[in-house]
Amino acid sequence: MLQGRVALITGAARGIGLAVASELARAGVHAVLHDRDAAANEAALAPLHASGLRASGLIADLADTAAPGRMRDDLSAQGLAPDILVLCASAELRERWDAVSDRALAVQSEVNLHATVRLIQAFLPGMIAGGFGRVIAIGSVQEARPNADCLYYAATKAAQTSMILNLARTVRAPDVTFNVIKPGAILTDRNRAVLADPVYEAVVQERIPLGRIGAPRDCAGVALLLCGDEGAYINGAEIAVDGGLRL
């Protein structure tokens, strides 16, 4: 049962993050939707509140090194101590190998890697002390099948996965698990532009056994499984959602 649990979902104003937050809220979790865009976050919260679900917002820019600590302090002041952490926020700057800028290196490192460590440092101790914890990273199929325009993004997501698998094997705390969900071709705002080309979309669909582009909700059920009692013995897993594909 997830009633009474608190989940912090980063990058939750839209796409996969919002789908996961909504699914967890429907399961009785207090879902904390994090994003850096306050207006988008308010819009995401509105239907959850209208449905009587427990959800709140948290605004922070994960490119700011102090953000994770402030997020912990802000939630603590509200009496909220997350025992579920879903790492969905990421920075993806599409640049080929010979054009990767210093800004792209810095932003993707800060958001995809450094913030991951800082968020885990901020919230994992409370999970261990409370005897329950779920850390889920939203990875990328590009870790194994990289796109030429996403050289450094793919590298940072692979490094994030390495961190999660390391923790799964070394933390060894009762009922605290660490797993990675790896989406394939999912129709999110980030992918909408490339999938708008009907020729390219047809090529992508041809490679998918189910014959359709995934929706954000297709990732939410996996997250619910990993957070619930049914998934309590899953630790250190990399679960692909039609992961044979790359954009």
Dihedral angle, C-alpha 121, 90, 227, 24, nearest 10 °: 120
Which residues contact residue 236 at a Cβ distance below 8 angstroms, ignoring those fewer than 6 apart? Answer: 164, 165, 168, 169, 177, 178, 179
In angstroms, the Cα distances linking 221 to 20, 47, 80, 230 are 8, 19, 24, 12
Question: Sheet holding 30-35: strands in order across?
Answer: 55-59, 30-35, 6-9, 84-87, 133-138, 176-183, 238-241
Residue length of the chain? 247
Catalytic residues: 153
Calculate Rg over the CA atoms of the chain.
17
Q: Report the alpha-carbon distance of residue 136 to residue 70 in Å, rounded.
A: 21
